[in-house]
Chain A
Amino acid sequence: MDFELMINSFPKLLNATLITLKLLSASLFFGLFIGLLFAILRMNKNPLINKFAYCYSYVFRGTPLLVQIFIIYFGLGQIEFLRSTVLWVILKEPYWCAIIAFSLNTGAYTSEILRSAFQTIKPGFIEAGKSLGIPNKIIFYKIQIPIAIKQSLPAYGNEIILMLKGTSLASTVTLMDLTGVAKYIISTTFKPIEVFIVAGGIYLFMTFIIHNAIKFLEKKYSY
């Protein structure tokens, strides 16, 4: 055990954690909107829209996240047309490519979580709202969404943890996030176990906090 290396690498790894957290929060933020949009599309009665939303979530959940990042980072740059548009400013940055890939990926999972949450709402709640003469829009915002949030909290907590682990893939597109820096230190010092303990410890600490925060929210919103 090389304790000196562990202590020396800790600040470097902690610095890299900042990028991991940035990636995580940005992709969760965008992912939530994408997820909500596709959950609503999934419940649409038009079979075409419905099928489209289903295919989206099927494709993103059926392929590895690594493939999705590579397609966006290496693949999209190949399209000449994209290079001439404003989008290229975003797409040439690995940071934004990673966020796009993560958001689309977590969006697909979130849409499934939200859809099942919407579907478990008892029809009685909506009927009660309707019989009180509440407009459909308000029923959706004031009844369906709050119940769905509460229902989907445990599953969404898991999704946040999965996404935290998913951000490690950003290191494959040259980003120096926690895993990227850990890999760099391992490959320069050849001391994998020490670095793994420190980096793994930081990840575990973050999962621990997320897990407890979700538990706290669950308790708060339970009735």
Chain B
Amino acid sequence: MELLAFGETGWGDELLIATLMTIAVSITAMFIGFIFAIIFTPLKLSKNKFFKLIGNSYTTVIRGVPELLVIYLFFFGGSGAVMYVASIFGYNEYIEINAFITGSFAIGIISGAYSTEVFRGAIQSIDKGQFEASQVLGLKRFHYFFRVILPQMLRLAIPNLSNVWQITLKDTSLISVTGLVEIMRQSYIAAGSTRDPLFFYSCAAVLYLLLTYFSMKLINTLEVKYSRGY
């Protein structure tokens, strides 16, 4: 137990900070994922064949390739790509990207592919009559999307988004390979310096379980909120 003490002697405070880091990366990644989903969902649903192809290839490639490979691509290729873009604008110094940004971007792209599928499914399962009715009523596009489609879509999407959240949360453990100190990396460091891997990896497992447990509780209350009236 003294291994988990706070302060100089134990690893309690380090693990706590690492847990907060995991939460921060997961939320950032989920958010980046939403941005990707907002861009790619309309492409996937578009009638234009070219746009549809772009949307479909994004979700197919990302969901068919291991997360770790995507992370390696960003880890090794990230700063190169940024430097290439910078060199177009005439900046030729070495740019090192922060592990947090690379990590949350890589996980964000993965999570975005899953979110896109969820949004697509939710929009497609809304009754066609709803679209037609709002057109007949002469609602403006903005009102029709935010007042009619979005609330119904969220009700259908939240249970699936909670799955995406779980996947994203668990995927953040993979960024430990890039050296970002989140739960997994911290346990690795602690296990290395105390020679007690069993204990620290079990701690990591418990921390992840607590995170998934409490986030599920939170999402369940959201689910209840958005399904009122059904």
Which residues does A use to contact B, with CB under 8 Å?
A: 58-59, 62-68, 70-71, 74-79, 161, 164-169, 171-172, 179, 182-183, 186-187, 190, 192-193, 196, 199-200, 203-204, 207-208
Q: A172 to B69: give the CA distance in the assembly, Å.
A: 12
Residue pair B208, A192 in contact (C-beta under 8 Å): no
Pick the contact of A171 from B68, B73, B187, B204 — CB < 8 Å? Answer: B68
Pick the contact of A192 from B80, B184, B205 — CB < 8 Å? Answer: B80
Other CB < 8 Å A-B pairs besides A168-B69, A172-B177, 14 of them?
A59-B209, A63-B205, A64-B171, A64-B208, A67-B173, A71-B197, A71-B198, A71-B202, A78-B197, A79-B198, A187-B76, A190-B80, A192-B76, A193-B77
Distance in Å from the Cβ of A203 to the closest Cβ of chain B? 5
30 contacts between A and B (CB under 8 A): A59-B205, A62-B208, A63-B170, A63-B205, A63-B208, A64-B173, A64-B184, A67-B208, A70-B188, A70-B204, A71-B202, A74-B197, A74-B201, A75-B197, A75-B201, A75-B202, A76-B198, A78-B196, A79-B198, A161-B64, A166-B66, A169-B174, A172-B68, A179-B72, A183-B72, A192-B76, A192-B77, A200-B61, A200-B69, A204-B65
Chain A residues with Cβ below 8 Å from B28 are none
Contacts A59-B209, A74-B201, A168-B66 known; A193 to B73 CB distance under 8 Å? yes
Interface set, chain B 135-182, CB cutoff 8 A to A:
166, 170-171, 173-174, 176-177
Interface residue B213 (Cβ < 8 Å from any Cβ of A): yes
Interface residue B14 (Cβ < 8 Å from any Cβ of A): no
Interface string of B46-77 (1 = CB under 8 A from A): 00000000000000110111111100110011
Q: A110 to B191: give the CA distance in the assembly, Å.
A: 31
User: Can you name the residue of chain B whose Cβ is closest to the Cβ of A207?
Assistant: B64
User: Can you name the residue of chain A whose Cβ is closest to the Cβ of B208?
Assistant: A63
Residue pair B72, A186 in contact (C-beta under 8 Å): yes
Chain A residues with Cβ below 8 Å from B198 are 71, 74-76, 78-79
Most buried by A among B64, B166, B174, B213: B64
Residue pair A165, B170 in contact (C-beta under 8 Å): no
Q: A105 to B172: give the CA distance in the assembly, Å.
A: 18
Distance in Å from the Cβ of A42 to the closest Cβ of chain B? 19
Distance in Å from the Cβ of B109 to the closest Cβ of chain A? 13
Number of interface residues of B (CB under 8 A): 37
Chain B residues with Cβ below 8 Å from A168 are 66-69
Interface residue B212 (Cβ < 8 Å from any Cβ of A): yes
Residue pair A66, B69 in contact (C-beta under 8 Å): no
Contacts A62-B209, A64-B173, A67-B173 known; A165 to B65 CB distance under 8 Å? yes
Chain A residues with Cβ below 8 Å from B187 are 70
Distance in Å from the Cβ of B177 to the closest Cβ of chain A? 7
Contacts A62-B213, A78-B198 known; A67 to B65 CB distance under 8 Å? no
Q: A169 to B177: give the CA distance in the assembly, Å.
A: 11
Residue pair B64, A179 in contact (C-beta under 8 Å): no
Q: A207 to B62: give the CA distance in the assembly, Å.
A: 11
User: Can you name the residue of chain A whose Cβ is closest to the Cβ of B213?
Assistant: A62
Residue pair B76, A186 in contact (C-beta under 8 Å): yes
Residue pair B208, A179 in contact (C-beta under 8 Å): no
Distance in Å from the Cβ of A79 to the closest Cβ of chain B? 7
Chain B residues with Cβ below 8 Å from A67 are 173, 184, 201, 204-205, 208
User: Can you name the residue of chain B whose Cβ is closest to the Cβ of A165?
Assistant: B66
Q: A196 to B75: give the CA distance in the assembly, Å.
A: 12
Chain A residues with Cβ below 8 Å from B188 are 70
Contacts A168-B67, A193-B77, A203-B64 known; A182 to B197 CB distance under 8 Å? no
